[in-house]
Structure 1
Amino acid sequence: MDTEAQHTERDPSADPDQGPAQRSRSARFPALAGHLEGPWRKAGALLALCVVFLLLLSHFVVQPFLIPSGSMEPTLNVGDRVLVDKLAYRFGDAPRRGDVVVFDGRGSFVQETDQGNPLGRAVRSVGAALGLTEPAETDFVKRVIGTGGDHVVCCDRRGRIQVNGTAVDEPYLHPGDSPSQVPFDIVVPDGTLWVLGDHRSRSSDARDHLGDPGGGMVPVSRVIGRADLVGWPLGRWRSVAGSGAFAGVRDPGGGHG
C-alpha cells in the first residue's frame, strides 16, 4: 500500500496541527473563511483605517459642520457643510471681529446638562464629526461682533451697531433685516466674545441671553474653530472669510483691530 499517497490526499480539515474548533469552523463555513482572508478582509481593514484617519483629522485639524438652521443666511444656508479650521486659534491667535466661529454653547447659550446615553452620544458625535448628521444641540455657528474689552451698542440714529464708538455697516446681513430690533449696550469681558447671527430676525444669539448669568458672552475657550469654507454642496463652494466691516474699529486701547 502506498502510504505516501494516502497522507498526501487526506482531508486538510483533519490536520492534527489545527484545534477541534478551528477544524469545525473551516468545515462548516469554507466560503466565508476564504472571503475573510481575501479581498473582503483587506477592504474592511482599509475602510476602518480611512474612518480612523477622518476622525483624527476632524478632531484635531478640520471638521465638516452641517448647518442646521437659517440663522446665518445668506452667508450659510441650511444643509451647507462648512469646513471648520480647528487650528485657527491654537497658536496664539484669537477670534477677530467678523470671524464666523463654531462654538460649544454650554454655559453661555444653553445650560450645562447631562448629555444623555454615552453610547448614543458617541454615535452622534461620529456622525457629526464626519459631517453626516446635524451637530449637537449645544454647538452653534455665529459671527463675532465684539471681542474682549469692546463696547458694543445698538443702535445709532441710522440703526447701525457701534463698536468702540465706530458705526459698522454690515454687508453680510440678510436682505431686509435690521442690525437688531433689540437694543443693547454692553462691554465684552476679557476672554469672551459677543456673537450674532447674520439673519438677525431669525437668529437666537447673544441678544437672547442678555438677562442670563454671563449675559450671553461666549468664552474663547469654548470656541471649536473658525468656519473657513463652504465645502458642500459643490454649487455653494466658496470661502467664508472674515468681514472687512470692522476694519475701521479701534481696539479698546486705541489701536485698530
Structure 2
Amino acid sequence: MSDVIKKVAKSLHEINIPFFFINRTVNKIKKISNQYNTKYISLEKFLSSPDNFSCLFSSTSSDNYIFDKIFLEKLTINGSQLSDKLFIDMSLTYDIDPKACDILGIKRIGLDQINNEAKKNHSSRLNESAIAREIIDKALLDLPEVYAERMYAPIFSILQDRYHYTAQEGLKKLMRKELKGIGSKEKDAIKAWCTSLAKRFAHIPSVGIRGLIHKGPEGSLDAFLEGVDEDFAKELKSVLSLQLEQDDKVIK
C-alpha cells in the first residue's frame, strides 16, 4: 500500500469520514483496516460488484487501467449517479481511464491536473509577492519623509500660531488707533483677511523648512533656528526636543 493512501486514510479518520480499503491481496490491508476499524474488499470483488461510494481514490503502480470503461459503465447500469461521484487518480500511469471518464461525464482529478493547479497557485503567489515587495519598497523609500513630517509637524504648527499671533497683535493696535472708528462688519472682514494672510505668510517658511529637512545638508535646520529671534528659537527647539523624546520611547 502506498504512503499516499495511508496519509489519506489517516486524514479521513481524523475528520470522521467513513471509508474502506481495496486491494488485490486482502491480507495486505487487514492490519490497516483493523487499525481504523473499517472494512476491506478485494479488488476482484469490488470490480465485479462495487460497493456504494461517493469518492474513489486510487494510487498504484499498475501498467494498465484498473478502473476501465467496462467498470465505469457498470456503475451506470447499477443505477449510480456518476455526476455525484469523484474519482481521484494519483497514479503516474493512470489507474482510472481518463477517456472513459470524459465520455461518461465522470469527474476525474489526475496528477496532471493537480500539478497544473499547483503551478498556477505558485505563479499567483509569486505575483502577489512581487506586488507586496513593490509596496514595501515604496513604503521604505517614503519612510524618511513620513517620519520627518511627523517629527517636525509641531514646528509647522508653531509657525502658524506665531504668524497668527503677530497678525492679531498688530491688528489690535490698528483697531485702537488708525482703525478706531470703523464698524463691526469692517472689523470682522479685516480680522478674517489678517488670519488668511498670516496663514499664507507662515506657508513660505514651512515650505523652506520642509526643503531643508528633505534635501538640505546635515545641520540645515539648526542653521535656520539660529537665524530666528532667541525666544522663538527656544520655543521651536523645546518642541522638537520633546518630539524626539516621544519618538525614542515609541521605538524602545
Instruction: Specify the TM-score bucket, using the shorter chain as the normaliser.
Output: under 0.3
**TM-score (normalizing by structure 2):** 0.25
As a proportion of its length, which structure holds more strand?
A: 1
As a proportion of its length, which structure holds more helix?
A: 2
- Structure of greater relative contact order (alpha carbons < 8 Å, 6+ residues apart): 1
Larger Rg: 2
**TM-score (normalizing by structure 1):** 0.24
